Amino acid sequence: MSIDSMFVHKMWDDKELSKMVTGGVPFPMLSDAGGRVGAVYGIYDEDAGVETRGKFIIDPEGVVQGYEVLTPPVGRNVSEALRQIQAFQLVRDSKGTEATPSGWQPGKPTLKPGPDLVGKVWEAWKTDMAFD
């Protein structure tokens, strides 16, 4: 979503993005005239008149589970966004019985919060697990 019109979105997809992604952008490119949606989400830069690089992860209930906001010159990490969604999905599927520690990736061990884990996280999780 950006302040550009859907017509400009079409031209950008036709002229440039479809040369990067076969078939063009697969998801809807939303237009936010005047930054009204961005202002509600708190990421519209009124002085510059553009949206900053905000990313929101919204769960099936419509609840915001996480967000990240970057200034324009630095791009996002799509793999990290997907990892976060996988982590939120795991927690949701476990109905809150599991949590994903720092550095968690699919397949890596989770934590089972409860009385037995208090003061014992150091046994279940080592600092090198924070890194890939």
Partner 1 sequence: MCRATGGPVGEPVEANQEDEKIVKEEPVMIKVGQKAPDFTAPAYHKGKFISVKLSEYLGKWVVLCFYPGDFTFV
Nearest to 66 by CA among 82, 50, 51: 82
Q: Which is nearer to partner 1, 85 or 129 (CB)?
A: 85
Between the alpha carbon of residue 53 and those of residues 35, 43, 65, 67, the distances in Å are: 13, 8, 17, 10
User: What residues from 40 to 99 belong to the interface with partner 1 (CB under 8 A)?
Assistant: 40-44, 46, 48, 50-67, 72-76, 81, 85, 88-89
Q: Which residues contact 69 (CB under 8 A, 6 or more apart)?
A: 43, 52, 53, 54, 55
Q: Under the criterion CB under 8 A, does residue 23 sit at the interface with partner 1?
A: yes
- On whether the CB atoms of residues 3 and 29 are closer than 8 A, the answer is no
The site that binds partner 1 (CB under 8 A) totals a number of residues, namely 61
Q: Which is nearer to partner 1, 64 or 124 (CB)?
A: 64
Chain residues that interact with partner 1, rule: CB under 8 A: 1-13, 16, 23-32, 37-44, 46, 48, 50-67, 72-76, 81, 85, 88-89
